[in-house]
Amino acid sequence: MKNVIYLLVAVFFASCGGSNTNSVYEKTIREHILKRNPNSYGDLNFKVVELTEQGTVTVADSIDYLTDEFRKDKDLIIKRVELAKKMSEDLLAKAKKQSDIDKYNADIATINARVDSLKNLVPDNLKGYDSRNANEELAKIVRCKYSVQVAGNTVEETFDFYISPDGNKCYGKKGI
C-alpha cells in the first residue's frame, strides 16, 4: 500500500511538471503570435489545441545546418563562375585576333584561380561555436496546433516553434 501511495505521488509530480513546461511554452507561443497585433490580444481568442515537444536543436545541429547552407551557396557560386569560364572558352574558340586570344586566355586563367580558391573556402560563420559542447541544447522544437478568431472565423494552424531551452523566448516558427 505504501508503494502505491509513492507511485501516485510520483505520477502527480510528473504530470504537474509536464503541464508547467507546457504552460511556459504556451505563454511564449501566445506572446510570439500576438506580438504582431498587441491591440487585438483579447479579440483573437487564441487557444492552444495541441502542444508537443518534437526535439531539440544542439550546437552540432546548428553547425551541420550552417555548414550545409555554406556548401550550397558555394556550389551555386562555383557553377556561375564556371559558366563564365565556359563562355570565355567559347569566345576563345571563335577568336581570330591574337589580342582577343590573349585576353580570353588571361580571363580563363583568372577564373580557374577563382574556382580553386572557392573550392578551398571554408565556412567563417562558425567562430561562435569553437568552445561550445556539441551536445549543448540551443533550442527546443515545440509543435503547436492553435486556433485564433479572425474576422469572426475560427482558424486552426500548426507550426513548429523554436523556443529557448528555458522556454521563455521564441526564436521563430516553421510551417509543417
**What pLDDT digit, counting tens, does each position of 62-117 carry?**
999 999 999 999 999 999 999 999 999 999 999 999 999 999 999 999 999 999 99
Dump pLDDT digits (tens) for 21-70: 788 999 999 888 888 655 555 567 889 999 999 999 999 999 999 999 99
Alpha-carbon distance of 135 to 171, in angstroms, equals: 19
For the whole prediction, is pTM greater than 0.85? no
Give yes or no for a contact between 51 and 25, defined as CB atoms under 8 angstroms apart: yes
Closest-CA residue to 47 (of 158, 126, 147, 172): 147
